[in-house]
């Protein structure tokens, strides 16, 4: 018998004697970042950025395939004993010498994961990771002129790109309520001092909100620039409208942290058949939130309809897609994305 066959037989034997836990479960306890394990990462440091934002330094395990600047990762972390998944843009450059990556998180009011990461996460914590994904990246051939149009935590993917690529001509228009709320403010001003960036910093508490239709006053050559925009829905909706009105829609790339909800309808009674819970839900709240609030263990990822990490069989009734208003009725084998679907009358989910 070859040594590989011997190893495989020994492994199978071990699996038998350790059932129901697998040997990999025991190995996770001692070597969570080893090759062959589900992808994990270890939090190695947490650096405050502002009063409510922090950069989390993560050492990914062996299976990590790297990222392109601007992409995001999904992380799974235990908060009060429940594993929750969220998406975060990578803010470190793709070629960081020590192999570590960073995400930068802004705590939002009542946010479970963001507050945990910003205020309570400790170095040494092991988290689950997914490979990086997303199309919000610079093209292989770098554009001659770039504009980053960002607000609040929407600066994160742009910072990943700024740190990654040395571009000849970059302008950033960034909005935050006050100077002290500007994430990465020192890094941005260092780039300005090195003449790598022209920065227009707007403090909306005193300057008011950016009126995208008057962008030419701040950036006269805005229309010549390939633009990457990330921020609240209001900014991105206005930008999409403005670029389209000027026949420039293909020059604008946007990244949304939340889905745009366009239609809400009547709700209904939602039954989670596996857990045996039934709750009343309105027609605007995603079934993912309805389930979590009822204490049902719901799988999730991006929470905005892009990763399909939340799909769940719809056993009875109907749900409405909050982005399009489309109704899906239960049929054998029908799966729904709970993060962007709400009850459209009584319905039953297999959770
Ligand atoms: C592709 C992608 C990249 C992202 N990158 C980043 C990033 O780099 N940094 C970062 O801080 N966040 C980022 N996010 C948002 C992040 O995934 C979470 O949505 C956010 O941290 C809130 O999670 P939570 O568990 O704290 O809030 P939850 O407990 O899920 O929600 C609490 C309340 O806040 C509302 N809410 C949820 N998300 C948001 C939001 N983004 N803005 C305002 N209100 C919200 C909910 O409706 C709920 O009422 C990204 C999201 C996506 C899809
Ligand atoms: S959680 Fe990503 S599609 Fe629903």
Identify the pLDDT of residue 34.
62
Query: Do residues 109 and 162 both lie within one domain?
Result: no
From 302, 314, 341, mutation site for ligand 2 pocket: most ligand atoms within 8 A of C-beta: 302
Is residue 262 situated within a structural domain? no
Q: What is residue 119's three-state secondary structure?
A: helix
- Under the phi-then-psi rule, with left for phi > 0, alpha for psi from -120 to 50, and beta for the rest, what region is 273? alpha
Residues framing ligand 1 (Cβ under 6 A): 72, 86-89, 103-106, 108, 110-114, 153, 156, 257-258, 302-304
Query: What separation in Å is there between the alpha carbon of 26 and the centre of ligand 1?
Result: 33
Query: What separation in Å is there between the alpha carbon of 297 and the centre of ligand 2?
Result: 15
Strands 335-337 and 277-283: unpaired
Is residue 139 situated within a structural domain? no
**CA 259 → CA 229, 237, 302, 306, 339, distances in Å?**
15, 12, 10, 9, 9
Query: Do residues 242 and 166 both lie within one domain?
Result: yes
Q: For residue 15, what pLDDT band results from cuts at 50, 70 and 90? A: very low
Nearest CA to ligand 1 atom 36: 111
pTM metric for this prediction: 0.86
Ligand 1 atom with the shortest distance to the CA of 114 = 26
- Which pair of tokens denotes residue 336? 């729904």
Q: Which residues contact 287 (CB under 8 A, 6 or more apart)?
A: 270, 281, 312, 319, 336, 338, 341, 342, 343, 347, 349
What confidence tens digit (pLDDT) does each residue in 154-186 have?
Answer: 999 999 999 998 899 999 999 999 999 999 999
Is residue 19 situated within a structural domain? no
Is residue 137 situated within a structural domain? no
Least confident of 194-203, 297-306, 316-325: 297-306
Q: Which CATH number goes with the domain that contains 74?
A: 2.40.30.10
From 108, 110, 117, 231, mutation site for ligand 1 pocket: most ligand atoms within 8 A of C-beta: 108
What confidence tens digit (pLDDT) does each residue in 75-90 have?
Answer: 999 998 888 889 999 9
Identify the pLDDT of residue 227.
98
Ligand 1 atom with the shortest distance to the CA of 306 = 53
What confidence tens digit (pLDDT) does each residue in 270-309 have?
Answer: 999 999 999 999 999 999 999 999 999 898 888 889 888 8
Identify the pLDDT of residue 255.
96
Query: Do residues 60 and 94 both lie within one domain?
Result: yes
Task: Name the strand (E) or helix (H) holding 158.
Answer: helix 155-164
Residue 273 CA, distance from chain mean position: 29
**Burial grade of 80 (CB within 10 A; 0-12, 13-18, 19 or more):** exposed
Is residue 124 situated within a structural domain? yes
Domain that holds residue 281: 268-349
Query: Do residues 221 and 152 both lie within one domain?
Result: yes
Indicate whether residue 307 lines ligand 2 (CB < 6 A): yes
Identify the pLDDT of residue 301.
84
Ligand 1 atom with the shortest distance to the CA of 111 = 26
Total domains in the chain come to: 3
Indicate whether residue 339 lines ligand 2 (CB < 6 A): yes
């Amino acid at each position: 018998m070859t040594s590989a066959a011997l190893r495989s037989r020994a492994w199978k034997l071990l699996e038998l004697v350790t059932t129901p836990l697998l040997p990999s479960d025991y190995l996770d306890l001692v070597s969570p970042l080893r090759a062959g394990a589900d992808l994990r990462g270890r939090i190695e440091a947490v650096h405050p950025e502002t009063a409510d934002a922090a950069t989390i330094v993560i050492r990914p395990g062996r299976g990590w395939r790297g990222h392109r600047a601007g992409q995001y990762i999904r992380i799974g972390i235990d908060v009060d004993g429940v594993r929750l998944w969220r998406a975060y843009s990578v803010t470190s450059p793709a070629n960081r010498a020590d192999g570590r990556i960073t995400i930068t998180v802004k705590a939002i009011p009542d946010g479970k994961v963001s507050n945990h990461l910003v205020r309570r996460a400790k170095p040494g914590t092991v988290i689950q990771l997914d490979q990086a994904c997303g199309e919000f990246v610079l093209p292989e051939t770098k554009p001659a002129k770039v504009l980053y149009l960002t607000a609040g935590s929407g600066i994160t993917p742009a910072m990943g790109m700024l740190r990654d690529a040395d571009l000849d001509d970059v302008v950033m228009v960034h909005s935050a309520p006050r100077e002290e709320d500007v994430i990465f403010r020192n890094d941005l001003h260092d780039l300005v001092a090195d003449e790598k960036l022209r920065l227009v910093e707007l403090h909306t508490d005193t300057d008011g909100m950016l009126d995208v239709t008057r962008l030419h006053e701040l950036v006269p050559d805005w229309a010549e620039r390939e633009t990457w925009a990330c921020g609240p829905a209001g900014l991105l909706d206005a930008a999409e409208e403005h670029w389209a009105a000027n026949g420039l829609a293909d020059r604008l790339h946007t990244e949304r942290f939340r889905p745009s909800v366009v239609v809400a309808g009547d709700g209904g009674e939602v039954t989670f058949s596996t857990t045996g819970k039934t709750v009343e839900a309105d027609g605007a709240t995603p079934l993912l939130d309805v389930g979590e609030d009822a204490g049902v263990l719901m799988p999730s990822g991006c929470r905005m309809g892009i990763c399909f990490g939340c799909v769940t069989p719809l056993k009875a009734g109907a749900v409405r897609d909050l982005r399009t208003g489309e109704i899906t009725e239960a049929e054998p084998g029908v799966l729904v994305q709970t993060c962007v679907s709400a009850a459209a009358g009584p319905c039953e989910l297999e959770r």
